[in-house]
Structure formats: structure tokens, C-alpha cells
Amino acid sequence: MANRHLARSIVLQTAFESDFRSLTNDASISSLKRNIAEFGGGPDDLSFATALFSGVWGKKTELDNIITKAAPDWPLEKISIVDRNVLRIGLYELLFSDRKEVPAKVAINEAIEIAKAFSGEKSGGFVNGVLGTVYKELGEPGKNEVSQKNNKNLPFEEMPIKKLVGAVVYAQKDGDFYLAFVHDVFGKWTLSKGKLTEGEELYDGLKREIKEELGLDIKAEDELQSNEYVANHPQEGKMRKQVKYFLAKADFKDLKLGESGGLDDAKWFKVSEIQTLNFYEDILPIITKAITILGSRG
């Protein structure tokens, strides 16, 4: 076994087996040693993996309580066994490891990569969402270290700008208007959006993003609103993200959710249904304006 990333992968395999088969602690440690021997490793590998697994399993109840609070829309028993144990490992390293040995963002990034490798791209987004929530509750430890390293601790006026484009996508069926929304791992319905590639025209980028994320061909119509917010990228530091939203028309057909990280569903809703949905506050004025425009068209 060459490194700690692989050690964490073996700890995940052992945790999966222990969870699935309800193994005793002694049986779990025996399984861990067997897995390490199979992949090849020295005393240091065994020591790290054993300490990590024992720590996770010793605090399993406490970690599960944290997962329940950080992901209230996902009952623990409905989270897949792989994702559940990736979260346990990531949370343990985030909360209880020596930060000099395992910085907070290393713990999060390692968990995301293991989730992608063993469960899938959407699981990576889900794990990122849960661990990110806990990370913010902790006060984002290590955030300034990343900013200083990348020389991005800048005043607002000097932050780099990333341009994004999104849309309220609508269609008509049997005389009713339907709107297409995407659902994220935080339990919110929101609008489909994405960043423009270098040199890409606004409308070309909008059509590409909606096609990739929803599988729809659209025609952009009215410009609705422009939003701006500050985001903190793990490698690039703080940046200003500017999003321009449009009203866009599409044919009513089945939505095909793309591989965008952090999204787990896409669905059409009648205009009369959307008042019951859980949206981000800054999205509501955009949707309201879109509905007003559609209403004026009869």
C-alpha cells in the first residue's frame, strides 16, 4: 500500500463489510488486516489504517448524529452504505484528526475522491455538501491559509470574476405552463446554471449548459436578472461570481439530469405547484418575474 489515500480506501472497504455484516470489533480488525495484507503494506500503513478505523468505529454513534443534523432530508438508513461510511471517515478526520497531519480541506477532498471512486459522481457532490456544512459550522478552519497561499486574499474590487449563465426553463403542455428545476444535495430546488467557457458567447453558453444539465434544447427569450456573490474556491481563493438569468422556452419532454456535482434530481412542475417547493431566497424573485411574464402572455 503506497499512501494514505489507498489506506483510507481500505478502511472504507472494511467499514462497508462491518456495517453490512454487523461484525464485532475484533472481526472488523481482522478484516482490516486481511485487506491490508491483500493490497500489500508495511507497519506504517497498518498503524494508520487501524487507528483511523478504530477511531471511526469508536465514535460511530456520534458521527451518525452529526450526519443526521447536517443532512436532515436524508435519513441515515436511506443513505447508501458506501456513502454513509465515506461520511463517517471524512467527518472523523475533519473533527478529530490532528489538523497538522490532516488539514480540514484534505479531509473533505479525500472523502469526495473516495466517494467518486467507490460510489459515483453524484455521491461526491453529496459528500461535499454534508462535509461542507459541518466545515462552515466549524468556522471554516484553514480557509485563510489557502487564500494566502494562492495570493487571493483580495478586496472585493480586485477579486477575479467568473461569469455564469442560467435560465428559468419553461414549456407548455395541454394549455398549462411547466417550469424545469434541478434539486441539490442540500434539499433545495433551484435553477439550472453553469459557467461560460473562455471566449464563449452568452447565448451559446446558455444553450450548452441547459443541454448538458437537463438534456433540453432551448430558445432564450427574456433577460430576467443578474446576481453576484462571493465564492471561496479551495485552490483559487475568493472570487466574484456573476450570474445572468434568462427565461428560456423548451419542448415538454423527459428531463435527463447531467453529471453536475451536487445535483440529484430534475423535474417539471406546473406553475401552480411551485409555491410548495423549497427554494433559495435569491432565486425566488427570478422565478416570480418569469411567472409574471408568462402570465401576461395568457
Domains of the chain: which residue ranges? Answer: 4-141, 156-296
Q: Which residue numbers in the chain have pLDDT < 50? A: 1-2, 146-152, 234-235
Q: What kind and span of H or E run contains 237?
A: strand 237-250
Give the DSSP H or E segment for 250.
strand 237-250
Report long-range pairs for 238-241 (Cβ below 8 Å, ≥24 apart).
Answer: 238/147, 238/152, 238/153, 238/154, 238/159, 239/152, 239/159, 239/160, 239/161, 239/162, 240/156, 240/159, 240/160, 240/161, 240/162, 241/161, 241/162, 241/164
User: Hey, what CATH topology would domain 156-296 get?
Assistant: Nucleoside Triphosphate Pyrophosphohydrolase (3.90.79)
Domain 156-296 in the same topology as domain 4-141: no
pLDDT value at position 215?
Answer: 95
Q: What is the pLDDT of residue 132?
A: 87
Q: What pLDDT is recorded for position 42?
A: 60
pLDDT at 2: 44
* Model confidence pTM above 0.85: no
Q: What pLDDT score does 247 carry?
A: 97
CA gap 269, 91 in Å, rounded: 36
Superfamily name with CATH number, domain 4-141? NusB-like (1.10.940.10)
